[in-house]
Structure 1
Amino acid sequence: MTGVAPHADPAPNPHASAAEVDAAWSDPKLANVLYHDWEAETYDDKWSISYDERCVSYALDVFRAAAGTEGWPYPTAMELGSGTGFFLLNLMQGGVIKRGSVTDLSPGMVQAALRNAEQLGLDVSGKVADAEGIPYPDDSFDLVVGHAVLHHIPDVSAAFREVLRVLKPGGRFVFGGEPTKIGDRYARKLGQLTWWLTTNITKLPGLGSWRRPQSELDSSSRAAALEAVVDLHTFDPGQLERMALRAGAVDVRAVTDEFSAALLGWPVRTFEAAVPPDKLGLRWKLFAYHAWLRLSDVDRKLLAKVLPRELFYNVMISGTKPHPPVELSGG
């Protein structure tokens, strides 16, 4: 049996020194720790993450699209790169998982995820963990999940091998929210254009109240710059499938979603980050959410049937750990 020896988790570091930030530019793992420790306390608000019917439904839709409903409920599951626990905790609330574990390279994110789990009354443990060396023994979990994590990992192939190691034979992995190569290109361009337009238009006379304080804009710009270090990969769906197969997975399938929804969603999220939160009330949130839902429905029911999967923004992948071969006794 392999696995990493138990260790005490490091403390979060939400206020990195200038020297640490400088070092992070050449060290993607350190950059991920510093960036996500910095973001941990505000991450749910930034990405409109909740633990109610809205996000439970979203998590269930992602899981069903990638893996169907066979095997529910899974007795044990681990979320890799859990962040604040969005995917695992909402799947638990949706009846997919009974008992869970959260892991993340960022101590701040692990603490936030465990705090969210406690508030929801869910049975969840957690560890600070490197995806390329997961600190659990072989054959530990029935399910491993992750959302928007693979593109942060330096060696994705090594992470797939580790995921398969900690899965029980026949266990499944499901990863969603990964950027495709083409989708990432148009999403970033839309975000950059929206940021430029919003921050410049709000300089006009009479619109000053719609502009965030310069210190907040500068902070957001620095965060966006560091994202260039922590966002390491974009994926072609076929490439991602081959990577999982080479790691030893079977029944591998990649599917994509969000085309028209992404064309709306990225400008909306960027606009929300550029203006004071108190300017956007409940009506705005309901408009943005329901518009995104309608376009997601169009993507799934219409556009997915006629457009190549490479054009969509998100790729999801699922696969299973093979059972060991049965040894036949001699007759």
Structure 2
Amino acid sequence: MTVRPDDPAPNPHATEAEVEAARENNKLAQVLYHDWEAETYDDKWSISYDERCIDYARGRFDLAAGQVELPYGRALELGCGTGFFLLNLMQGGIAKSGSVTDLSPGMVKVALRNAEHLGLDVDGRVADAETIPYEDDTFDLVVGHAVLHHIPDVELALKECLRVLKPGGRFVFAGEPTTAGNFYARWLGRITWKITTTITKLPVLAGWRRPQAELDESSRAAALEAVVDLHTFEPSELEAIARRAGAVDALAHTEEFAAALWGWPVRTFEAAVPDEKLTMRYRLFQYKAWLKLSALDEKVLHRIVPRRFFYNAMITGVKPGAPAQ
């Protein structure tokens, strides 16, 4: 595990004063929010580094990139979070070695720790996606998951991706919210949070209520989330941004409609109740339900529902030029 000694330290507990300051400083908000989430992020989103998430990450990559020659040599994950996308892609045979970057020191710390536990060849930097701290023509692949919507200038970030890619190299970004999907997901989340936190005030359901201090901290995080989520995307808009950045073969895909309508209330409910109430039987049921609804989306709903109404968007593009021999 490679850690740069000059990188800033994580700040996992933002105060109310810091949250207020972050409302006027987006990049501070990004750091505070993601440092706050870093140590619990994998649990919150049911992220693992086993067959389940390897298959999920590889499935997203294959859907976006199509049939490509594998493995890539060196890959970069932009806005790595805990390393979910790159580390699982590496385990799935997509790349041999990797680098992770994130504006949040806490996220880089956790991503490198995860890579070390998995025995993967990965280094990391605390870095801004709009000024990637690597030389031109360094990487064969750049990936990211749920990151573009956090970046102020998406086109500039994609230009930076193309700069650090070798000629013929590819970028793949997945997990980006569509405009329609974000609208219904947020409303479902707000309604579920309100209902759950109200009902669990009843004495008979007191055991299902998280401590008020934890709920208050979650509310502060939600306030920051409203600041750090900068964009939603139309699939055609993502393709246009990628082409303006200089990519060729730019193509967007979308996924999760029924799965999102089910999944967002479930995730919000899980965030509002104590972890010990969520048994393994419950988690397995929810996972199987998500798989069935995702299959419905892929096999049926994709044929009749316009792509812009699905929740998740992904975009791929290629740096012009022939790969070096």
TM-score range (shorter-chain normalised) is: over 0.9
In structure 2, what residue type is equivalent to 1:200? Answer: T
My pick for the range that moved more, 200-209 or 99-108, is: 200-209
Confirm whether residue 120 of structure 1 aligns to residue 118 of structure 2: yes
**Aligned equivalent of 2:176:** 178
- Cα 1:7–1:168 shift into 2, 3 Å: farther
Change (3 A) 1:17 1:270: closer
Following the alignment from structure 1 to structure 2, what is the Cα–Cα distance between the partners of residues 206 and 45?
27
Which sits farther off after the overlay, 175-184 or 204-213?
204-213
CA distance in 2, matches of 1:198, 1:15: 25
Cα deviations across residues 64-103 of structure 1 (Å, max 9, x unaligned)? Answer: 1100231210011000000000000000010111000000
Q: Which has the larger radius of gyration?
A: 1
CA distance in 2, matches of 1:252, 1:81: 20
Identify the residue that residue 255 of structure 1 maps to in structure 2.
253
Q: How does 1:10-159 map to 2 (within 5 A)?
A: 10-159=8-157
Task: State the percentage of identical aligned residues.
Answer: 71
SS, match of residue 204 in structure 2: coil
CA contact (8 A) 2:70 2:93 kept: yes
Residue 18 of structure 1 and its aligned partner are, at CA, apart by 4.6
Give the gaps of 5 or more residues in structure 1: 1-5, 325-331
Q: Match of 1:195?
A: 193
Partner of 1:298 in structure 2? 296
Task: State how far apart, in whole Å, the 1-side matches of 2:236 and 2:68 are.
Answer: 24
Counterpart selection for 2:228 from 227, 230, 237 = 230
CA distance in 1, matches of 2:15, 2:279: 36
Aligned pair count? 320
Distance 1:276 1:7 in 2: 37
Root-mean-square deviation over aligned CA pairs: 1.4
Task: Please give the secondary structure, in 1, of the residue aligned with 2:168.
Answer: strand
Which amino acid in structure 1 is aligned with residue 147 of structure 2? Answer: V
Structure 1-normalised TM-score?
A: 0.94
The Cα offsets for residues 216-252 of structure 1, whole Å up to 9 and x where unpaired, read as: 1111111111100000000010011000100100000
Shift of 1:204: 2.0
Moved more, 315-324 or 118-127: 315-324
- CA shift for structure 1 position 11: 1.5
Residue deviations 1:187-242, cap 9 Å, x none? Answer: 00001111111111112231111111111111111111110000000001001100
